[in-house]
Structure 1
Amino acid sequence: MNRQAIFLLFGLTLFFSQVNGQTFRQQFNDFVSKKDTVGQQQLLEKWEKTDSNDPELFVAYFNYYIIKSKQEILSVGQNPKGSNVLQIMSQDTTEKEPIAFMYGDTYYEPNLLSKGFDWIRKGIEKYPNRLDMRFGRIYMFGELEDYENFTKEIIKTLDYSSVNKNKWTWAENKSLDDPNKIMLGSIQNYQIQLYNTENDSLLNNMKDIAETVLKYYPEHIESLSNLSIVYLFQEQYDKALEPLLKAEKINPKDYIILNNIAEAYKNKGDKKKAIKYYELTLKYIDDDEQTKKYIQEQIDGLKSK
């Protein structure tokens, strides 16, 4: 299945600004911006003695150990990361291709990393409604490419949203405006993160997350789409159509859903329905000329057969 042929629904991209409310929190953020780890440590020790149950203390300790554990290293290998890459050429001048690459990489010292995760775990246990703590842990599992725990933590968050009825809080225990939308939008971005790895072994992770979302939020169009995408890649086209047709009933003008329905029918060999849904996609699509051109090519190709 061609990834370029499948459209993925994008969730809400969130940018939360730091609110410098509490004195300790403000001072800690200042030390972080100055990269003063000694100042951070001294402040944390003082903070812990003053108020060991302050929820912001757990977040600060988590950040402290994550920052301290992170190390930039030079790596040599065949799969370079990042934009700053040096090619290592063979001494044999007839060899035109590099024999290896040298590039910058990130390493997290395991003991320090473990301490950070321990602090955020304790924070979540004490303050289970703090969505920022949960997202912080999920983010780090993503950074570490630990997609098993990444997925487990997302599912735990979804399960708990049913318990607390989405009464989530953020930094300084402040309530969120439209917490349900924020949670689901962020989780959709995590799904996109999994998809963008282009690692087909993670399709089942996407499926597990989508099914959990739909367990609690059965009309969440993005998750219906995600579930269908997994089935499309697995060439289970009838199964892919089930969530797609549900999504179409919820929003019959969603061109991403319409395109994926067309893709499913095309791969099933149902030319008539594929053309119908490609034409509907063209009808409702935004001003994206490149995508319009692709859709028109699909229609022309099917009609010429």
Structure 2
Amino acid sequence: MRRILGTLIAILISQIGFSQDYQSEFQKYCQTNDTVNQLKVLTKWKSERPKDAELYTSYFNYHFMKSRKEILTTSTNETKGEGLVLKDSLNQTAGFLRSEIHYNQTELEKGLNIIDKGIELYPNRLDMRFGKIYALGEISNWKSFTSEIIKTIKYSIVNNNTWTWTNNEKKEITKEEFLLDIQTYQLQIYNTEDDNLLIYMREIANEILNHYPNHIESLSNISITYILTGEFDKAISTLLRAERINPKDFIVLTNIAHGYKLKGNKEKAIEYYEKTIKYGDDSAIKFSKQQIQQLKEQ
């Protein structure tokens, strides 16, 4: 019996060793951008260990990186981002040169389909989920980006935030750390400066609140989406809900004051700036005093 168990353990160790060797070899070819040998490693890997979790992440990386193409473009109009200014013979600005990233949809879909299979087999692998979310953000597919984040939030309730990472190692992450990661994704949408996308930021925040109703950061995020679209009553209502959860949160209090200021309710704005002075730090106190002074001078 011990001999049989010893044999089984040896086989298991051998299989893990094969996986790690393939993984290391694949990463080596990634560093040199050798897609030919990357595919050779993946093909052999798949024939021997078709259900290896790292095979799915490696195939995903292979197709995603292969889909990515950098193209130099010229334009007479200056746009956001880094670029080179082109000058004519009179040293006048003639145009702008910059690089743009384009993605081959066929390769991209292959990668996304593979990581979907990986997530189905290994639903606790947070790196797979975050990897897919990252890719969707890179291609600015904000609808799918949001959908994948919401799926991850929902599954965090199923597995009680018991996640794994590369090589199926346990990922030590608290609920607060997980929600902070989700907050970063919402900030990514916010930083597009496209008000049409604020609805996605709101959807993510509402999903969090479905499971964590006292999550003040999500209430604040929702209020921001309403402030940016000029819906001040909705923004204030959301922030007042946050205030009921924590009456001493001076960031919430400052935002309520700002909401009332934008709405034109000077009296309520001053009231909440005074609350901020009571509970805020030095910076918040200084800012609130300035705001009160400005409001009184109007």
TM-score, with length taken from structure 2: 0.84
Equivalent in the alignment of 2:24: 26
Using the TM superposition, give the Cα deviation of residue 88 of structure 1 relative to its aligned residue in structure 2, in angstroms.
6.4
Equivalent in the alignment of 2:293: 300
Name the stretch that deviates more: 155-164 or 126-135.
155-164
Equivalent in the alignment of 1:59: 57
Conservation of the 8 A alpha-carbon contact between 1:248 and 1:258: yes
Q: State the Cα deviation string for residues 154-180 of structure 1 (Å, max 9, x = none).
A: 112122223333222221222222342
Q: How does 1:241-252 map to 2 (within 5 A)?
A: 241-252=236-247
Conservation of the 8 A alpha-carbon contact between 1:81 and 1:104: no
Specify the code of the residue in structure 2 equivalent to 1:85.
L
Distance in 2 (alpha carbons) for counterparts of 1:99 and 1:286: 50
Equivalent in the alignment of 1:120: 115
Long gaps (5+) in structure 1: 1-20
Long gaps (5+) in structure 2: 1-18
Change (3 A) 1:243 1:226: same
**Higher helix content, 1 or 2:** 2
Conservation of the 8 A alpha-carbon contact between 1:74 and 1:105: yes
Aligned alpha-carbon RMSD (Å): 2.4
Using the TM superposition, give the Cα deviation of residue 63 of structure 1 relative to its aligned residue in structure 2, in angstroms.
0.5
Counterpart check, 1:71 vs 2:64? no
Q: How does 1:223-302 map to 2 (within 5 A)?
A: 223-282=218-277, 284-286=279-281, 288=283, 294-302=287-295
Conservation of the 8 A alpha-carbon contact between 1:24 and 1:47: yes
Using the TM superposition, give the Cα deviation of residue 285 of structure 1 relative to its aligned residue in structure 2, in angstroms.
4.5
Who wins on radius of gyration, i.e. which is larger? 2
Using the TM superposition, give the Cα deviation of residue 300 of structure 1 relative to its aligned residue in structure 2, in angstroms.
1.3
Out of 126, 143, 147, the residue aligned to residue 142 of structure 2 is 147
Q: How does 1:124-139 map to 2 (within 5 A)?
A: 124-139=119-134
Distance in 2 (alpha carbons) for counterparts of 1:287 and 1:293: 6
Distance in 2 (alpha carbons) for counterparts of 1:287 and 1:41: 58
Q: State the Cα deviation string for residues 251-281 of structure 1 (Å, max 9, x = none).
A: 3343321221111111233222212322343
Conservation of the 8 A alpha-carbon contact between 2:83 and 2:96: no
Conservation of the 8 A alpha-carbon contact between 2:71 and 2:100: yes
Higher RCO (CA 8 Å, separation ≥ 6 residues): 1
Distance in 1 (alpha carbons) for counterparts of 2:78 and 2:237: 39
Identity of aligned residues (%): 47
Using the TM superposition, give the Cα deviation of residue 99 of structure 1 relative to its aligned residue in structure 2, in angstroms.
6.3
Distance in 2 (alpha carbons) for counterparts of 1:296 and 1:141: 43
Q: Give the 3-state SS of the residue equivalent to 1:244 in structure 2.
A: helix
Distance in 1 (alpha carbons) for counterparts of 2:201 and 2:40: 42
Name the stretch that deviates more: 270-279 or 42-51.
270-279
Change (3 A) 1:105 1:129: same
Change (3 A) 1:73 1:292: farther
Conservation of the 8 A alpha-carbon contact between 1:158 and 1:212: yes
Specify the code of the residue in structure 2 equivalent to 1:127.
Y
Specify the code of the residue in structure 1 equivalent to 2:292.
I
Conservation of the 8 A alpha-carbon contact between 1:158 and 1:213: yes
Using the TM superposition, give the Cα deviation of residue 229 of structure 1 relative to its aligned residue in structure 2, in angstroms.
0.9
Equivalent in the alignment of 1:83: 82
Equivalent in the alignment of 2:14: none
